[in-house]
Structure 1
């Protein structure tokens, strides 16, 4: 049985409980989980064509809330750069990978309600999968969230709470609601089941590349859920003897909001404690990664360093240019989802995969 484990102080909790954070430090949980058996490429033939085909390495099995998520195409962009088309997911973003895990867990726990907070994509994914699971859901979003995303949340039947202020204010409002009895906090940041969903991104890549991985995997980083999922997967694949070396993790942030990149290049293990509440994030086209103080900052920085990777930043002009460039290649991707292409599009010395992780219809073309 998997258990929640606090990476800071070792506190444990039962995953059947509705506790959403460590009661000692109020930090996010990890999951103490070991795959039941090694994954075999030969055993994958004939399995369901979704992320649930990797059942040996998932902490939940036999789902009833699936929408067929996963198994997105991997296509070349240049001779060395390939793209994983996660904008082709049921709710048009990679967040479906983790949201289905949270909704399935919540369905089994039968809470009175589910709450989530998001800048848009995680909220739409949680709303959709809660609808599939017939769970009442409330999604908190910051003012200024794309109307197309809020429309999608409402369409799935979720209650929408628009919070004055920035992404941090939204998270604080959702966490206050999460403390109410009978509430399941479907947090893509605090609940580690989400990370075990996003790790399937790398398992699919490994399968599609014939049992290998590229030299590097680039991911956009705000709260770091895709990056930490990738780190989980590469660690598991290495432990199972299915790869010989880990690929470097290339973390990409918008230059306008790049606290992790700054800390990484300064050699820091985490973010400095602010004198008070963090200042609002600067405006950026990459709204999905505009996170001034990600709760898993230490884990993100450590994962990048352990992989031999680095942090890159991109300007607003680079984001605009990358979105238009991808569109001329046939891919209409939202502005957050083009950040990695903006950062590594001209690489020629090693193979790298970038995620195109949100559809352009969610935000429109950057002005």
Structure 2
């Protein structure tokens, strides 16, 4: 049966429990779930959303009631060797819909079983928006904690979906602490895109879509922005599954991108460390969505990048700003965080073969970087 497990302590918990972290180390859960191989030939006749990869996803009977048609975003060339996956073309205009719909389907299942009264989430904007939208779709009460100074457009979008917004003074870490305190209240489901592994089960469909769009193969390099690492860890999970099932012969390199201003994972990687040394200074950056001083899954992220022969790249504020304007001139208006990968690839020549970068959030959410 599917269960939560702690990768550090090996403690387990049924997924029917509302315990949001390991009771021993307070670390995030993994999911003890074995996917089945997906038949590439069968996909043409399936529903045109991420749920077409049903064999790869945990069983969630509430999914048809929660879906908003997320997934199946376009893959378009930027250069002869670099293509972009337009994940900002999602119902709430960010890739976070991939994980949020899976979390919401799980939460609805728990609510119907009894004992779940509310959903809480914390976010710098996009994950909270996605949680609010899918909770609205599922008919679940939702409260979203955001840092003070979060983009007003994102806050407005969260409220428009009917969620309660709690603005927390301080940085992203202060916001996470406030949400975790609320998550310990009885009857509360913590829809954490970091701590709950159901979210990662959703983000892995990003790579399943690449595999399908490329006719049963994967790019040579997959570049992803990394703050808490939810997209990177989902990508790593999908690559492992596809390789284990014999659906791809080789694994692509995973290249992680951070802003120079807040880059604890890049520093640890290039120092050869297995974990970050401690919380990074929370300096201002245009890439607010990946400005995470102390990612809880740091060890897993570093291990995943090294396992594929990948690396970490960092980008300056100037390059992020320039990349946003460059993409806009190409017809793609993406928020600053979502341009970090293009900024990195544009500055450092990609490896031989096909490189794919994600464009993760719509520029309409934040506007053009000053």
TM-score by length of 2: 0.97
Aligned equivalents of 1:350, 1:43: Cα separation in 2: 28
Aligned position for 2:301: 300
Moved more, 289-298 or 337-346: 337-346
Is residue 21 of structure 1 aligned with residue 26 of structure 2?
Answer: no
Q: Name the SS of the counterpart of 2:45 in structure 1.
A: coil
Is residue 180 of structure 1 aligned with residue 185 of structure 2?
Answer: yes
Aligned position for 1:44: 43
Task: Determine if contact 1:92/1:359 at 8 Å carries over to the other structure.
Answer: yes
Task: Determine if contact 1:4/1:12 at 8 Å carries over to the other structure.
Answer: yes
Q: Name the SS of the counterpart of 2:108 in structure 1.
A: helix
Count of equivalent residues? 362
Aligned equivalents of 1:70, 1:263: Cα separation in 2: 33
Cα deviation for residue 345 of structure 1 reads 2.4
Selected match of 1:214 from 219, 224, 227? 219
Aligned equivalents of 1:208, 1:279: Cα separation in 2: 38
1:28-39 matched pairs, under 5 angstroms: 28-35=28-35, 37-39=36-38
Aligned equivalents of 1:266, 1:157: Cα separation in 2: 45
Q: Name the SS of the counterpart of 2:22 in structure 1.
A: coil
Aligned position for 1:321: 322
Aligned equivalents of 2:331, 2:121: Cα separation in 1: 33
Q: Deviations over 1:111-147 (max 9, x none)?
A: 1000000000000000000000000000000001000
Aligned equivalents of 2:201, 2:5: Cα separation in 1: 14
Q: Deviations over 1:275-309 (max 9, x none)?
A: xxx46510000000000000000000000000110
Task: Determine if contact 2:263/2:280 at 8 Å carries over to the other structure.
Answer: no
Cα deviation for residue 229 of structure 1 reads 0.1
Task: Determine if contact 1:27/1:295 at 8 Å carries over to the other structure.
Answer: yes
Q: Name the SS of the counterpart of 1:87 in structure 2.
A: coil
Query: Superposition RMSD on alpha carbons, in Å?
Result: 0.9
Q: Name the SS of the counterpart of 2:368 in structure 1.
A: coil
Cα deviation for residue 191 of structure 1 reads 0.1
Is residue 143 of structure 1 aligned with residue 144 of structure 2?
Answer: no
Runs of 5+ consecutive residues of structure 1 not aligned to the other structure: none
TM-score by length of 1: 0.97
Selected match of 2:233 from 228, 239, 250? 228
Aligned equivalents of 2:162, 2:60: Cα separation in 1: 26
Runs of 5+ consecutive residues of structure 2 not aligned to the other structure: none
1:165-314 matched pairs, under 5 angstroms: 165-272=170-277, 274=278, 278=279, 281-314=282-315
**Structure 1 stretches of 4+ moved >4 Å:** none
Is residue 332 of structure 1 aligned with residue 337 of structure 2?
Answer: no
